[in-house]
Each structure stands twice: as structure tokens, then as C-alpha cells.
Amino acid sequence: MTPIALTPPMAEPVSLTDARLFLRLDQNEEDGLLGTLITAARLMIEAASGRMLIDQDWRIVLDRWPDGGEIRLPLSPVRSIKAARVYDAQGGAQSVATGALALDGSADPPVIRLVGAVPVIGRKRGAIEIDIVAGYGDTAAAVPALLRQAVLRLAARWFEERGDVVGRDAAALPAEIMALVAPFRRMRL
């Protein structure tokens, strides 16, 4: 299973205004840098938590339908299935009927179940594409406060300590940031 990002979020979980207030910046000359740091911090927090913060479109690519009829998704939370298609032997896409797939977004990880007839697969690789919307919602207000705070603090840390700190944080997030992310991390047994 391969997840492919199709569209980035329309907004960030932390606004430039909120970041400027947190950093006590009166000027906006460095808004470009600060915006870039907010986006980079969101991506780091999404990777560390395994959660997409703001709604974004993703494509899940599968080689075949699973034997048990359940597709455990690598992204969370998943809010909806936008479309699904299966490729035939000639490379033509056949749409999967809307009622053939059911999303259990409350499961962790989210699960798509096959509940109806689906087209027959015609090629060996990348035969199935399922487009989904992953994220807590389309605004910052929908994102849990702890995750918003983690993005804000990480972006502020990078802004205040410019230089090698970003490279160090890429290897392991600071403990105070991980403490904010910890309640949202998916546990593996």
C-alpha cells in the first residue's frame, strides 16, 4: 500500500498572526520565513503523531484487494472516501461504486471495508486507487489544541534558534514537543 499526497491543506493549524503573537513580533518582514517554518513544523508533527492535522487529499494505491476485505489505512484521521477506481488489463480505469466501500473512520487505524461488488483487477501493480480526505477538519479550530501547540512551539523554536537546530530536531523532536504529541501517537504491539 502506497499513500500519495494529492493536495496540501488549504490552511495551516497555526496562523502567522498567532505565531507572531507567540514570538512577540511586531513586524511582518519575516512572515515568509515564519510561514515556511510553520509548514515544516506541521509536517514534522504529522510524521511524529501519524495524524494529518488539516484536511488534505491523499491517494491510497494497492496492488490487490485484501483477503479479509479490510484495508487498514496508514493515515489518520480519515474523514471520507472521495473516489475509488480499479485498472483493467488495458489500463482503463473503472470506477468503484460508492456503496461498495465503507469507511470506519472511528477505528484506529481507520479501515475501509469492502461491502459490495468491486471491479476485477486487470494489472499486477498499482491496480487500485482510493482517494480519501485525511485530517481533523478544514480549519485550525478543528485540530486538537495540543497538536496546534506542538506546531506553534516547534516553529517558534526554529525561528528563535536559527541554524543547526532544525537538523537536530529532524532526528528526534525535543522532549517538550514530543510530550504534546504523545497522546496522539498510534501504539504498535
CATH code for the domain in which residue 144 is found = 1.10.3230
pLDDT at 164: 63
pLDDT at 99: 92
CA–CA gap between residue 67 and residue 165 (Å, rounded):
46
Q: Are residues 35 and 103 in the same domain?
A: no
Q: Report yes or no on 89 lying in a domain.
A: yes
**pLDDT for 113:** 96
pTM of the model: 0.87
Name the grid cell of 94: 473503472
Asked whether the predicted pLDDT for residue 92 surpasses 80, the reply is yes
pLDDT band at 103 (very low <50, low <70, confident <90, very high): very high
Q: What is the dihedral of CA 29, 30, 32, 35, to 10 degrees?
A: -130
Place of cell 529532524: 170
User: Checking DSSP bridges between strand 56-62 and strand 101-104, what pairing results, if any?
Assistant: unpaired
The reply to whether 144 and 86 lie within a common domain is: no
Q: Where are the beta strands (DSSP E) in the chain?
A: 2-7, 56-62, 70-72, 78-87, 93-95, 101-104, 111-114, 128-134
Render pLDDT for 37-90 as a digit per residue (tens, 0 to 9): 999 999 999 999 989 999 999 999 999 999 899 999 999 999 999 999 999 888
Domain assignment present for 120: yes
What share of the chain in percent tops pLDDT 70? 94
8-31 per-position pLDDT tens digit: 999 999 999 999 999 999 988 999
> What is the total count of domains within the chain?
2
**Grid coordinates in use for 32?**
515568509
pLDDT at 120: 87
Residues 108 and 160 in one domain: no
76 and 33, same structural domain?
Answer: no
* 3 touches 47 (CB < 8 A): no
Residues 33 and 78 grouped into a single domain: no
Task: Give domain status of residue 155, yes or no.
Answer: yes
Task: Give the pLDDT mean for 132-144.
Answer: 96
> Is residue 189 in some structural domain?
no
Lowest mean pLDDT among 77-81, 116-120, 146-150: 116-120
Q: Is residue 108 part of a domain?
A: yes
b/e map 27-64, b = 16+ CB within 10 Å: eeeeeeebbebbbbbbebbbebbbbbbbbbbbbbebee
On the question of pLDDT at 127 being above 80, the answer is yes
* Residue 117 placed within a domain: yes
Last residue of a domain, one of 98, 117, 134: 134
| Residues 35, 8 within the same domain | yes
Host domain of residue 161: 2-53+139-184
pLDDT of 171 reads 65
Cell 489518520 locates to 76
Q: Judge whether residue 139 has pLDDT over 90.
A: yes
Question: Residues 127, 65: one domain?
Answer: yes
**pLDDT at residue 62, as a whole number:** 95
Instruction: Examine the domain organization and report whether 120 and 147 are in the same domain.
Output: no
Residue 18 CB: number of other CB atoms within 10 A?
A: 17
Interatomic CA distance for residues 23 and 150, integer angstroms: 14
Under a CB-based contact definition with an 8 Å cutoff, are residues 42 and 151 in contact? yes
Residue 49 and residue 30 in one domain:
yes
